[in-house]
Amino acid sequence: MTSEQLRLNVEKALEEIRPFLESDGGNISLLSIEDNKIVKVQLEGACVGCSVNQMTLKTGVEMTIKKYAPQIEQVINIEK
């Protein structure tokens, strides 16, 4: 998979997750993909400072991204 295909797959995963985050007043942006295995995202809106955002990141975001791009090993939230 090329890095462009990988980026598209990660974006598809984020599109699947986004409606759930938006329903709680939040959002997520893809910042970068490093070494084709580490995804850096930024949680936005109500997700910033939310007590369950790390759980959301691991169980929701990371799991969904891995479904679209199995080679991804980790998803990291970069705070503003």
Q: What is the DSSP string of 39-62?
A: EEEEEEETTTT-TTHHHIIIIIII
3-77: CATH topology: GMP Synthetase; Chain A, domain 3 (3.30.300)
Compare 68 and 80 and report the one with higher pLDDT.
68
* Domains of the chain, residue spans: 3-77
pLDDT of residue 3: 92
pLDDT tens across 24-48, in order? 899 999 999 999 999 999 999 988 8
CA distance linking residue 4 with residue 31, whole number of Å = 14
Residue 17 phi, psi (nearest 5): -80, -35
